[in-house]
Amino acid sequence: MVVGWHRPTKLVIDTHAIKQNVRNEIKRVPDGTELFAVVKANGYGHGAIQTAKAAIEGGATGFCVAVLDEAIELREAGITEPILILGVVDTSYIDLLLKYDLSVTAATQEWLEQAKEQLVHLQTESPLKIHIKVDTGMGRIGFTSPEAVKKAVTVVKAENSMMWEGVFTHFSTADEKEIDYFQKQEQRFKSVLAVLDELPRYVHTSNSATAFWHPEHTGNMIRFGIGLYGLNPSGHELTEVYPLKPALSLVSELIQVKELPAGEGIGYGNTYTTKDNEWIGTVPIGYADGWLRHLTGFSVLVEGAECEIVGRICMDQCMIRLPKQVEVGTTVTLIGHDHGQEITMQMVADKLETIHYEVACTFSERLPREYK
C-alpha cells in the first residue's frame, strides 16, 4: 500500500512525548534496571524506527520486537542497541539472527535441539543469544515447569555456540485490580528462579502494566510497551501512576462542505437522513486507513466543536454533521487536541468496544506519519 502524502490526512507523532514517557519511567525504577522499548507492530502504529530513536534519546538501552523482520529493520536503520525478538523464530533463520546480532526467544526443548543442529552447520564464532521464555499462566509460548526450564538452561550453557542471555515471563492480568492471578504467576516464576544455580544477564517480567502497578517486580529489565506511547495499559480500570503523554494525533481537513435540505440520505445504505437543513462536511479518511465503519456515530472535532460522523464510513471518506458553515480546508481532529477539547485513543477504543492497542495498530500504511 502506498503512503497518501498528497492528501491532508495524517498521523502526527510527538517524539518529545515518547522521550518524556521513557524518562519518567526510568526515574521510578531501581538502579541497575534497564528499559527496553517495545517497538513491535511498527511501533504500535507510531513508526518503529522513529520511535526507537526517540526512545534512545529518552534513555532506553534496548528494544523488543515480535518478528525477525522487525529486528532487521531496526538494524538496517542504524540501531545498534540490543534487540530481543519476543516471538518464535524458525531455526532455519539462525544465520540472520547471528548476522544482525539479535537475541531470540527459546520456548521449547524441541526448538533448542533444532537450533543446536543448525549452529553445528554454521560453525559460527559468535554465540546465539537466547532468552528462555517461561509460561507462568499466559498460555501462549514458553516452558511450563521449573524442571523444563532447568533442562533448557543446561542445554544452552553446555553449547559454546549459545549464550544464555535472559529468562522471562509475561503477566496476563497486571493491568487489573484483582491481583490473585498475578501473584500466582509471580510465584511460579520465582519457583523457576529458585531451581537455577545462577541467573543470566537479563531477568525480566515487567511489561508496562507490571512496571506501573507492581514496582516490586522480579528482574532487572522492563519491557516498556504501551506506556512508551503515552497510553494507560489498564484503560479505565487503574489510574496512571504518573501523567502519561500520548504521542499520537490523527488529523485531516474538510474537502467539501454543503448544505442539504431535510430528507436527504447520507452514505452507503442510506442509513442517515437529514432531519432539517444540515451542513455536511466530507473528510478524506475511511476504513482503508483504519478509521473503521463501527465509528459511525462517533464525534470528531472541528474548531473545538464535536461533530458527529453521519452515514456509513466509506473506504476512503466519511461525512460529518457540522454546526454551521465551515470553510473547506478547515482542520478536522479525529484524535488529539483542538481548541481546548480532546479526543483520546481510549475514546475511540470505547466506541469500538476494544482496546487502544488495537486502535493504534489498525492505522494503515496509507496514513503518513509526521514526526514533531
Binding positions for substrate are: 140, 315
Pair 93, 102: CB distance under 8 Å? no
Alpha-carbon torsion, ordered 27, 30, 34, 40, to 10 deg: -70
Q: Catalytic positions, please?
A: 40, 268
Grid cell locating 273: 437522513
Question: Residues at the annotated binding site?
Answer: 140, 315
Pair 85, 102: CB distance under 8 Å? yes
CA distances from 341 to 17, 65, 240, 318, 320 (A): 19, 34, 21, 21, 17
User: What's the per-residue H, E or C state across the chain?
Assistant: CCCCCCCCCEEEECHHHHHHHHHHHHHHCCCCCEEEEECHHHHHCCCHHHHHHHHHHHCCCEEEECCHHHHHHHHHCCCCCCEEECCCCCHHHHHHHHHCCCEEEECCHHHHHHHHHHHHHHCCCCCEEEEEEECCCCCCCCECCHHHHHHHHHHHHHCCCEEEEEEECCCCCCCCCCCHHHHHHHHHHHHHHHCCCCCCCEEECECHHHHHHCCCCCCCEEEECHHHHCCCCCCCCCCCCCCCCCCEEEEEECCEEEEECCCCEECHHHCEECCCCEEEEEECCCHHHCCCHHHCCCEEEECCEEEEEECCCCCCCEEEEECCCCCCCCEEEEEEEECCEEECHHHHHHHHCCCHHHHHHHCCCCCCEEEC
Tell me the one-letter amino acid at 48.
A
Could you tell me which of 244, 242, 202, 252 has the C-alpha nearest to residue 225?
244
